[in-house]
């Protein structure tokens, strides 16, 4: 779970603007053409790491849901968490060169501000009930009369799909965001730039 919470701060959508500040320490001798080339390579590596960490984070959530077997609460929270990961945005703020082969990359993460108490209101619940009835021909109230085993095997997958879609739409419509800044170190080894995403400063 700790790793998933860290990924809350790392995962992001898959695009960013190249409008960022570039600084070079006075004692570093590096040509402008090399800086521009390095910037592109660092951007590429950063993007690849974000993609990888996002996919790994979603996979880990799926694994934790599977470990909880058929717990409705775990699956519900897991779907919220995965959608949150998909909707975090980021931008590179600065690349500061410490040497020809070392740079600090500062970035900003923009994440939807989640309020679990109001994530699904009465209107959303009504929508879930209506969609469930359209898909199954049964009302939500009907579920109170089925056995636990029958609910888990027959009805819960459909209910989870409906709730997940509703939550996904709600998160996409969120207009308030939290912003956090982070810094990672980029190092050039054997001619290739590398970034360790958990090396946050």
* Tens-place pLDDT, residues 88-123: 888 899 999 999 999 999 999 998 887 766 677 788
> How far is CA 122 from each of CA 127, 132, 140, 166, rounded to the nearest angstrom?
9, 15, 14, 12
Enumerate the domain spans of the chain: 2-114+174-195, 123-164
**Is there a contact between 85 and 171 (Cβ–Cβ < 8 Å)?**
no
Tell me the backbone φ, ψ of residue 48, rounded to 5 degrees: -65, -40
Mean pLDDT of each 10-residue bin along the chain, 201 residues long: 46 52 93 94 92 88 77 74 84 94 94 77 85 88 82 81 83 86 94 80 57
Counting other chains too, the contacts that 98-101 makes at CB distance below 8 Å and 24 or more residues apart are 98/25, 98/28, 99/25, 99/28, 100/28, 100/29, 100/30, 100/34, 100/188, 101/187, 101/188, 101/189
- Tell me the three state secondary structure of residue 109: strand
**Which pLDDT tens digit goes with each residue over 67-92?**
876 566 677 778 788 888 888 888 89
């Amino acid at each position: 779970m700790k790793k998933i919470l860290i990924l809350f701060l790392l995962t992001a959508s898959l695009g960013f603007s190249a409008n960022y500040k570039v600084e070079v320490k006075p004692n570093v001798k590096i040509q402008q053409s090399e800086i521009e080339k390095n910037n592109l390579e660092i951007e590429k590596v950063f993007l690849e790491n974000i993609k990888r960490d996002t996919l790994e984070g979603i996979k880990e959530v799926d694994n934790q849901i599977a470990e909880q077997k058929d717990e409705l609460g775990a699956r519900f929270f897991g779907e919220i968490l995965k959608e949150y990961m998909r909707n975090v945005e980021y931008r590179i703020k600065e690349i500061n060169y410490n040497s020809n082969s070392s740079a600090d990359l500062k970035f900003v993460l923009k994440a939807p501000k989640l309020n679990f108490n109001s994530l699904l209101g009465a209107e959303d619940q009504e929508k879930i009930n209506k969609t469930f009835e359209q898909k199954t021909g049964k009302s939500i109230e009907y579920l109170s009369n089925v056995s636990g085993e029958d609910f888990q095997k027959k009805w819960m997958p459909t209910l989870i799909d409906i709730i997940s879609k509703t939550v996904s739409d709600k998160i996409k419509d969120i207009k308030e965001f939290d912003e956090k800044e982070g810094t990672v170190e980029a190092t050039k080894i054997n001619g290739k730039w590398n970034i360790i995403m958990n090396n946050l400063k």
